[in-house]
Structure 1
């Protein structure tokens, strides 16, 4: 099972000091966070994609390529690549280039994004979000698997005898996760192609996460990729830890109360009781994270957001030390207990090359029920 960090790259005022980092500081902080994740033995670092303040990661492959040169083992990914507003031809080129630069230590997560104004900035209509995601990914899937592509669709100009370069490393396209919080159509899309499904369940109650994951698993089996239990699932989460749980709650409360996403709403206590957010000791984080398997099944990837809401870099790096030294080693052992032998491990480029992933992820023309 893979464990790692994801970041949305927000530039947020620290509510305890009133200081807001510069964009330069925040970008460098994200690199430092990835390097720390590699240092403590985590598996994955993922960055979001945003094109509006207060976020800085507008060019994920630029950042991930830089990080690839400064890490040894870390899998580099995105927590959202905007399949709706990016040209799939450019996605195909950029991430294939990253795949080569990172020697296969990468994958990618497709998402629609949740910032409405982004769509017209890139000449798209937010009301076409789902159709855009479906058509654009169909083209991207084809571009990575066929050397010469002819294409005609609704949302972009046709392609005639087009070859995307560079071609995927070792003839194996990057592994794709489809990220969604609330759209069953995206779970259906992931299942149709036999790709991974990532549910960022940091804001949602257990019942909703269970429903979305189960839908994906059932449809994965329906399309003949394996049993429902063999579907490739990833989950998000958020934690804040101190040795003493009371210290963790006291320190994190002002950040929670003023967070741009969930601040000024439900109390910290209500939020932690109803969602996967865990604020407490490392042991409490272990215990709560282990409950995710009860409603998501045996899954392959667990990512945590650690740097949201203005937390200073020093604090975030301390959190990653705790995660790598005290939490993840125990989670690896506990999640391995009772894990069925036919449940696949998390996908890596090396394993997919050895297993012939190209034939397993076959090209699709459209999505049908």
Structure 2
């Protein structure tokens, strides 16, 4: 290589800002996979601002003073290398704002991975690892497929947005979850998703002085009771699941809500409509816009004998948008009559985007 070519290559290496490195592990004997180490040439890229690593091992620490975003997918530690290597490396990235960990199952399980950063603002963890997070300016946190008992975020008091997705919770962690939410003084948006995983939780109480939005997806391994109170700033609520979950909601504000009912019975009988009315009654707050997702419009058309059994819940809904998965077949007047019976204060009604009134 000529001197000019070498200088050009060296200049490109020094000024490199973004790098995505995906190294497929090599298959050895007995179907064992061998992972490559992070190349030392990467460690010398001092101007990196975005680094994405996948399918390799860390054998030594790194330092990137300008790094803003770090993504580690299927990354582990080399043999006899302790978690301290990654902990020290993150300390040596003083500008880091975003951290993504995914499928990093090869970190040591004997000692928690300690993540310390005063610059970190966003973190997403999709891996069952043991973590102690000390990020005083962390505002956005996503925990996906983690064991709650293995995560310590008590030092992260600045969190505003928290998403807990398919996490594994034990019954003993119920109070820990409630304490976590109540002890985040700046929490504004909370997402709890248990659709595809057995959470281990059965009952929840949510109390938060600054909470504005709560999204809750309840799966087959359902949480049975949810109580939401002492949330003076709550203005948005979303629920996805079946109606066997008892949700008690108190809010002094006019709410916007989305309710996705996942029950698909072979026919809509008396028990269905009684359960539906009882479910709505527990959500008897002052609502502005309610978006109601059901499989069929027949799920809302209560027969007269059900109305004789159930008194009108007299809900305070202002604007209702009905979304169905099937083409609606009932008469507009019937749908209007039922919704007005449920909520006499109703001002507007639409179904699948078509205005009824």
Return the TM-score normalized by structure 2.
0.29
In our comparison, the structure showing a higher alpha carbon Rg is 2
Higher helix share: 1
Higher strand share: 2
